[in-house]
Structure 1
Amino acid sequence: MTDFFADIPQVTFEGPDSTNEFAYRHYDANEMVMGKRMEDHLRFAVAWWHSFAWEGGDPFGGRTFERVWFGDTMDLARMKADVAFEMFAILGQPFFCWHDADIRPEGATFAQSKRNFEEIIDYIGQKMADGGPRLLWGTANLFSHRRFMSGAATNPDPDVYAWSAATVKNCLDATHKLGGENYVLWGGREGYETLLNTDLGRERAQAGAFLQQVVDYKHKIGFKGAILIEPKPQEPTKHQYDYDVATVYGFLKDFGLEGEVQLNIEQGHAILAGHSFEHELAMASTLGVFGSIDMNRNDYQSGWDTDQFPNNVPEVALAYYEVLKAGGFTTGGTNFDAKLRRQSLDPQDLILAHVGAMDICARGLKAAAAMLEDGGLEAARAARYAGWQNSSLMGQSLDVIEAQVASGGIDPQPRSGRQERLENYVGRFV
């Protein structure tokens, strides 16, 4: 045991009238929502990187957090794991997520890094066996080290491609060993800074080959979880091959992988791509590639990915509306890819950020479920497209359609989209 979270009680549900800040007011894990426990709907996960590895820096300043486990030794990595599982016990969330670089120190060689990684995976596995939460997903950090400055799978140097493939292999092995339910590929630097030195076709082919190798290895080792890609636009590179849901789907179709890979969709990345979170979720569901979500928010006064904890119930409700419409999570869940503000230094801040976020998500889920059960939005949508129910237009040729219009039998008149009415309808539930 460590003393980092000393005197912080286990957080339990006390209801909306509670004045205890270390209590859930809306997240009741056992509350039934649409015939399923709330915990099983939301499937919360804590992100190891932001909660325990992030140092509080930003583009204009360095580390502000002073954590006793910061350092590059295995003893400190084990201490970090101890602190993580102490926080998991306080929160009671069912899952967590990691990158390899979050949980193990970098070695002088690939082999040493692998030994460090395997040792800490065994340590984490024992903590899970002793009653800790499950692994929602693992992933490889293929963006922080300087070797990845020109990408990983899309790197012009085949040696970097090989290093990246070997790293993913080890991370997929570890995810499988810990019973992880998904494996995520996030191409933080899979893009270019200038077209002047970039072969787009070459890099895109490399990305496709890399993903196929990951899928093949998944089947080789018998990993039953989902392979997920996380779309991310223009940060830090000018162009990225996984810009948004539609872009990734086109990539998957091009390489024949749409039946093998799903998407992990982040709120902040959706905003950076010029979309809403619910748009990206609806698009993924429509295309049959919805998998999991990273729940956070951006600061709308900033033009970059600030990864703040969610605090907007209407936004969250619309997101979970699309999740529920898609049938809910299977292997996926709600990962808090969110970090404290660099001025939030206290251990209590880390706990309370998650408590508030879990309550916000619980409120959003219940509002989404109420809207779906009421059926108002679906009825309005069905009415708007009712004219298509018996239409054969999409199967006719242009000359046949032109003859129908020219005969005077078709004279379209504009009809209201009723946007404000529908916004007011949503407002009744949130």
Structure 2
Amino acid sequence: MTDFFKGIAPLRYEGPDTTNEFAFRHYDPDEVVMGRTLRDHLRFSVTWWHSFAWEGGDPFGGRTFERPWFGDTMDHARLKADAAFELFTILGVPFYAWHDLDLRPEGATFSESRDRLTEITDYLGQKQEETGVRLLWGTANMFSHRRWMAGSATNPDPEVFLYAAATVKACLDDTKKLGGQNYVLWGGREGYETLLNTDLKRERQQAGRFLCMVVDYAKKIGFDGTILIEPKPQEPTKHQYDFDVATVYGFLKDFGLEGEVKMNIEQGHAILAGHSFEHELAMAASLGLLGSIDMNRNDYQSGWDTDQFPNNVPEVMLAYYEILKAGGFTTGGTNFDAKLRRQSLDPEDLVLAHAGAMDVCAAGLKAAARMLEDGELERRRAERYADWEREGAILESDLETLAARVVREGIDPRPRSGRQERLENLVNRYL
């Protein structure tokens, strides 16, 4: 135990009229919506990296946070774990997520780093037994250390590829050991800064072969969770190979992995790719690849990945609408890949940032459920395409036959309203 969160009791649901900061207004974990509790719908997860490893720096300034677990010993790593599970208990979240580097200090050799990971994940296993909190997913940090500056699987140096393979093996082993429900690959440096020194075809082939190895090894060890890829278009590299959902789908198809791997989709990354969050979710769902989400938001003035906590219910509603329409999460969940602002120094800030985000997500999901259950949006959407129900044979025909029909019947189509504003008004009814 630590005293970092001393005096902060576990949060409880008190309803929308409460003025208690340290209570939920919308998130009642036991409330049943569309046949499932909010706990089971939302499957909240707290990230190790932003909540406990991040020091409050930005591109123009260093550390602003002072945490008792900041340090490079295994004692610090265990203290960090104690504080993390205290926060999980205060919030009542069922899951958490980590990178290997978040959990333990880097060793002098790969073997030392691996052994430290094994040691700390054994400790996390004890904490899971004590609290009932489980691992949503694990992953490897293959972007921070200088060895990864030119990528991991896509690196021009074969020794870096070897090191990446060993790193992912260790992380997969420990994810399985902890009962992790997913394993995520985010290629933070799998891209390029300039084409002047880049062989695109070679690097893409390396990335595909690496992912095949990951899938094969997961099967070999009996990992029954889901392998996830997290798309991102840029930053830290100028261009990343996993640009967006559609790009990743093409990549998976090329290597015969579309039935093996799903996607972890982040709100902020969707915006950087020039999409909306709901677009990326709908695209993944249409391809059968929707796995899990990283919930956050960007500052729309900044134009980069600011990883702020969500605070916009209408935006969140549209995201959960696509998730609910796709059948909801199975192994995935709502992972808060979000961090405090560097001026938010207090333990209370960390608690309330998550609590507010959980309320926003709960309000958004409930509004999405009302809209889906009412069915009016889907009816109006179906109405727009209704003529295709009797004209579906068009798609089985050929250009000559279709052209002849246009001439024979004197077809001269007139534009029809898309009714966008009416639909936007409709959506707002459910808020």
TM-score range, shorter chain: over 0.9
Asked whether the 8 Å contact 2:313–2:363 carries over to 1, the reply is: yes
| Alignment-derived partner of residue 185 in structure 1 | 185
Distance apart, 1:64 and its partner CA: 0.6
Distance apart, 1:408 and its partner CA: 3.0
| Alignment-derived partner of residue 211 in structure 1 | 211
Asked whether the 8 Å contact 2:89–2:131 carries over to 1, the reply is: no
Distance apart, 1:411 and its partner CA: 2.0
| Alignment-derived partner of residue 172 in structure 1 | 172
Asked whether the 8 Å contact 1:340–1:350 carries over to 2, the reply is: yes
- Look up the equivalent residue of 2:27 and give its one-letter code: Y
Asked whether the 8 Å contact 1:88–1:132 carries over to 2, the reply is: no
Residue aligned with 1:406, SS: helix
Q: Does 1:419 find its partner at 2:398?
A: no
Q: Distance in 1 between matches of 2:140 and 2:33?
A: 35
| Alignment-derived partner of residue 402 in structure 1 | 403
Choose 224-233 or 387-396, whichever is displaced more.
387-396
- Look up the equivalent residue of 1:37 and give its one-letter code: T
Q: Distance in 2 between matches of 1:246 and 1:165?
A: 26
Q: Deviations over 1:286-333 (max 9, x none)?
A: 011100000000000111000000000000000000000110000000
- Look up the equivalent residue of 1:230 and give its one-letter code: E
Please provide the CA RMSD for this pair.
Answer: 0.6
- Look up the equivalent residue of 2:406 and give its one-letter code: V
| Alignment-derived partner of residue 25 in structure 1 | 25
Asked whether the 8 Å contact 1:268–1:297 carries over to 2, the reply is: yes
| Alignment-derived partner of residue 60 in structure 2 | 60
Q: Distance in 2 between matches of 1:131 and 1:344?
A: 27
Asked whether the 8 Å contact 2:140–2:185 carries over to 1, the reply is: yes
Residue aligned with 1:345, SS: coil
Q: Does 1:197 find its partner at 2:197?
A: yes
| Alignment-derived partner of residue 240 in structure 2 | 240
User: Which runs of structure 2 are paired with 1:147-158 in the superposition (5 Å)?
Assistant: 147-158=147-158
Distance apart, 1:131 and its partner CA: 2.1
| Alignment-derived partner of residue 289 in structure 2 | 289
| Alignment-derived partner of residue 48 in structure 2 | 48
| Alignment-derived partner of residue 115 in structure 1 | 115
| Alignment-derived partner of residue 70 in structure 1 | 70
| Alignment-derived partner of residue 146 in structure 1 | 146
Q: Distance in 2 between matches of 1:64 and 1:250?
A: 42
| Alignment-derived partner of residue 11 in structure 1 | 11
Q: Does 1:370 find its partner at 2:398?
A: no
Q: Distance in 2 between matches of 1:384 and 1:305?
A: 36
Residue aligned with 1:90, SS: helix
- Look up the equivalent residue of 1:65 and give its one-letter code: F
Q: Does 1:393 find its partner at 2:384?
A: no
Q: Deviations over 1:56-86 (max 9, x none)?
A: 0111111111111001100000000000011
Residue aligned with 1:389, SS: helix
Asked whether the 8 Å contact 1:85–1:132 carries over to 2, the reply is: no
Residue aligned with 2:275, SS: coil
Q: Distance in 1 between matches of 2:188 and 2:360?
A: 28
Q: Please report the TM-score for the alignment, with normalisation by the length of structure 2.
A: 0.99
Q: Deviations over 1:230-277 (max 9, x none)?
A: 001111111111000000000000110000000000000000000000
User: Which runs of structure 2 are paired with 1:274-353 in the superposition (5 Å)?
Assistant: 274-353=274-353
Asked whether the 8 Å contact 1:45–1:335 carries over to 2, the reply is: yes
Q: Please report the TM-score for the alignment, with normalisation by the length of structure 1.
A: 0.99
Q: Distance in 2 between matches of 1:335 and 1:410?
A: 51
Q: Deviations over 1:205-248 (max 9, x none)?
A: 00000000000001000001000000011111111110000000
Asked whether the 8 Å contact 2:4–2:83 carries over to 1, the reply is: yes
- Look up the equivalent residue of 2:155 and give its one-letter code: N
Q: Distance in 1 between matches of 2:357 and 2:131?
A: 24
Q: Which runs of 5+ in 2 are unaligned?
A: none
| Alignment-derived partner of residue 162 in structure 1 | 162
Distance apart, 1:102 and its partner CA: 0.2
Distance apart, 1:377 and its partner CA: 1.0
Q: Distance in 1 between matches of 2:125 and 2:197?
A: 44
Asked whether the 8 Å contact 1:89–1:132 carries over to 2, the reply is: no
Q: Distance in 2 between matches of 1:50 and 1:234?
A: 20
Q: Distance in 1 between matches of 2:359 and 2:417?
A: 36
Distance apart, 1:409 and its partner CA: 4.1
Residue aligned with 2:357, SS: helix
Residue aligned with 2:395, SS: helix
Q: Deviations over 1:24-57 (max 9, x none)?
A: 0100000000011110000000000000000001
Residue aligned with 2:387, SS: helix
Asked whether the 8 Å contact 1:45–1:336 carries over to 2, the reply is: yes
Q: Distance in 2 between matches of 1:234 and 1:140?
A: 19
- Look up the equivalent residue of 2:260 and give its one-letter code: E
Q: Distance in 1 between matches of 2:36 and 2:229?
A: 27
| Alignment-derived partner of residue 380 in structure 1 | 380
Q: Distance in 1 between matches of 2:136 and 2:411?
A: 54
- Look up the equivalent residue of 2:93 and give its one-letter code: Q
Q: Distance in 2 between matches of 1:109 and 1:292?
A: 33
